[in-house]
Every structure is written in structure tokens, then in C-alpha cells.
Amino acid sequence: MYEKLSLLAQPGPSVSWGENVTLQCRSEIWMDTFHLSKEGSPAPPQHLVLQDTAAPFQANFSFGPVTSDHEGTYRCYGSDSTFPYLLSLPSDPLELRVSDYTVENLIRMGVAGFILAVLGILLFQV
């Protein structure tokens, strides 16, 4: 009965630790209830009921500040509140990635320090 919804991430599907991200679930046809699920999560899907039912039919699920717990694959579904158990087809999966650049930079600095120490030892042995 319902078509597939679209799911987008703003500002994008790759975000840094501590940033905010919004997953936008959108339908081309009238729907007033949207559900967002994360694959593998034991938590029930989040749902939003639109107060403004003018087009575009879109729900914004906001997260932030994000951590590695938010990382994963998301899908959204839509329904009409008069038939809440009749769901649309799921959106295509959206893979949300969260990068912790602080840890990555510490690793890079550690490797650089190790290389400098080795080069220093070799220089003093000559």
C-alpha cells in the first residue's frame, strides 16, 4: 500500500564524535507517523507523529552529541496514525559512521614519536 521512504543524514552519514546529526525520514505521499530503527539494537524503534501534515512529509530524528553508540545501520518506516500497524516498505539502509579523531590523532602522534626515537638512536650510534 505504501511506497518506500527515503532516509538521509544531515550533515552527512560520517560525523565526528560529539557532533550533532539529524536523520531525515521522508515520504512522497501523506503519512503522519514515522519510525526509525537501528539494526541489531534491542531498543524499540523511535517514532514521531507529525503535527504539521503539510508536504513535505518528513520527520527529523536528531542525535547529539553523537558517540560510538550511535554508529550503525538505520532504516525508517512510515504509517498513517489511523492504521498504525500498517507500515510502509523500509527505506534503504543508511550506515551512520562516527569518527573519534582525537584517538586517531593520538595514535598518529605516538607512531611519529616512536619513529623519531628510533631515528635518534640510530643517529647517535653513528
pLDDT digits (tens), the chain, 126 positions: 567 899 999 999 999 999 999 999 999 888 889 999 999 999 999 989 888 767 778 999 999 899 999 999 999 999 988 888 889 999 999 999 998 776 677 788 888 888 998 998 888 886
Residue 34: the pLDDT is 94
- What gap in Å lies between CA 10 and CA 8, rounded to an integer? 7
- What gap in Å lies between CA 12 and CA 32, rounded to an integer? 25
Residue 29: the pLDDT is 86
Q: What is the pLDDT of residues 71-80, one digit of tens each?
A: 999 999 999 8
- What gap in Å lies between CA 99 and CA 17, rounded to an integer? 6
Residue 100: the pLDDT is 79
Question: Are 20 and 61 a contacting pair, CB within 8 Å?
Answer: no
Pick from 125, 9, 34, 44: nearest CA to 88:
34
In three-state form (DSSP H/G/I as H, E/B as E, the rest C), the secondary structure along 31-82 is CCEEEEEECCCCCCCEEEECCCCCCCEEEEEEECCCCHHHCEEEEEEEEECC
- Sign of the four-CA dihedral 96, 102, 105, 110: negative
pTM above 0.75, yes or no: yes
- Most distant CA pair in the chain, distance: 82
- The chain-wide mean pLDDT, for the chain, equals 89
SS3 content of the chain, % helix, strand, coil (to 5): 20, 40, 40
Domains annotated on the chain, with CATH: 6-101 (2.60.40.10)
Residue 1: the pLDDT is 57
